[in-house]
Amino acid sequence: MASLTAARIFTRRFHVSARRSALARFNMPAMSPTMSEGGIASWKKKEGEAFATGDVLLEIETDKATIDVEAQDEGILAKIIAQDGAKGVQVGAAIAIVAEEGDDLSGAADLAAQAASESTGAEKAPEPSQPAAAEPSKPEPSKPQVETKPDLPAGDRIFATPIAKKIALERGIPLAQVKGSGPSGRIVRTDVENYKAAPTQATPTTSVPQAAADSDYVDTPISNMRRTIGSRLTQSKQELPHYYLTVDINMDKVLKLREVFNKTLTEKDKTAKLSVNDFIVKAVACALSDVPEANSAWLGEVIRTYKKADISVAVATPTGLITPIVKDAGAKGLATISAETKALAKKARDGKLQPAEYQGGTFTISNLGMFGIDHFTAIINPPQSCILAVGATQPTLVPAPEEERGFKTIQSMKVTLSSDHRTVDGAVGARWMAAFKGYLENPLTFML
């Protein structure tokens, strides 16, 4: 369900109108403090359909999740402006027209058209100046005519530089319609780049689908979530001075304790079951309590150290990676952590997380052990200072002088801590890793 913030934004103060034509605009809300645009996943009400308080009007797609938006009062959805699947809708832009029961809906279409034109007015404003600039000089029209010439016959050869061909292929530009400025009319790089900027619309749009249909690849549109992941992780890797610390942890005691706990839990609830990741979340929180410098964030002018461990747990979804938060994990028991993690992971995969459930974590865990990955490094999620990459638990031979054979087999797990050197020095990272390892190799200390 929509958050309280979204509820306030979407509250419409319906009133009694003597003229019974109280049509009003329904604007795109900011579902989180950082949201500037979003998409319309689907409308749950049809045009002309009445809704009551608490009804889900639509689903909005943010950069992290799909969020239900509830009606805060009763009314009628008079006209939909932003249809299902609309992308890049700016916050504050009108997405629908709503009315009260008994209102005259005849003006809804006109109000919707007016709202839509206002939102695109800024983009259309510069257009009138283009014909005005072209009118005074007569020779100008000859250039567009050459550039938009029809495709050359199939047998004609097109002369272009390799880089020009590469750019044209990537951008879907037909070289037959590009005028070359090089020697003997050869097409060079600038010709292709300028062609993209030229206001020719009909010809490129008709040729690109044909090329795509004949190709042996598939282009997938970038979702808001994938775009955000790409920009944030690129920024992190470029700007944050990452360094990495790796240790091997003996998981024998964790696995034995987990087996004992699960036997007890399943007697009460067969669906209740602790995972290794639940122990890891708890150990991370305890280690952050011992070494609070790792539970920090770089904020430009200050380094903020958090008093509670809000652990972001990376979850893979069909649309990308998201990190729901187990808040104040240090104050919670293993059973509570397990139940919360499972519930958050399900909501994440269903795209139903609320902004408060994935924003504001202080430390992130990325576990690929269930996929058989024994070791990897993860990219820090700014402004956090650390992220822990967890590998699979595997049987490993280790020296054991006390054993007759001189060695023994243990269940070993390899973990790697990625740290921001601006906030966490190497010695601090090493102390945190030692504390974390100590808790997992002696898990009864969780109970103390």
pLDDT at 304 over 80: yes
- Indicate the range of 191-195, 229-233, 263-267 predicted with least confidence: 191-195
pLDDT confidence of residue 175: 72
pLDDT confidence of residue 156: 52
State the first-to-last Cα distance of the chain, in angstroms, to the nearest integer: 38
Q: Are 364 and 314 in contact (CB under 8 A)?
A: yes
- Over residues 135-161, the pLDDT tens digits come to 444 444 443 333 333 444 444 567 777
DSSP result, 92-126? T-EEEEEE-TT---TTHHHHHHHHHHHHHHHHHTT
Q: Band of the pLDDT at 211, cuts 50, 70, 90?
A: very low
Mean pLDDT over residues 85-95, rounded? 84
DSSP result, 312-369? EE-EEETTEEE--EETTGGGS-HHHHHHHHHHHHHHHHTT---GGGTS--SEEEEE-G
Mean pLDDT over residues 190-200, rounded? 63
pLDDT at 389 over 80: yes
Which positions are annotated as active-site residues?
A: 421, 425
Q: Band of the pLDDT at 178, cuts 50, 70, 90?
A: confident
pLDDT at 27 over 50: yes
Better pLDDT: 245 or 87: 245
Average pLDDT, the chain: 80
Instruction: Report, in this order, helix, strand and coil percent for the chain, each rounded to 5.
Output: 40, 20, 40
CA distances from residue 167 to 170, 187, 189 in whole angstroms, order as listed: 5, 11, 8
pLDDT at 427 over 90: yes
Mean pLDDT over residues 120-139, rounded? 45
CA–CA dist 330, 379 (Å, integer): 24
Q: Band of the pLDDT at 34, cuts 50, 70, 90?
A: low
pLDDT at 133 over 50: no
Query: Helix, strand or coil for residue 447?
Result: helix
Better pLDDT: 322 or 63: 322
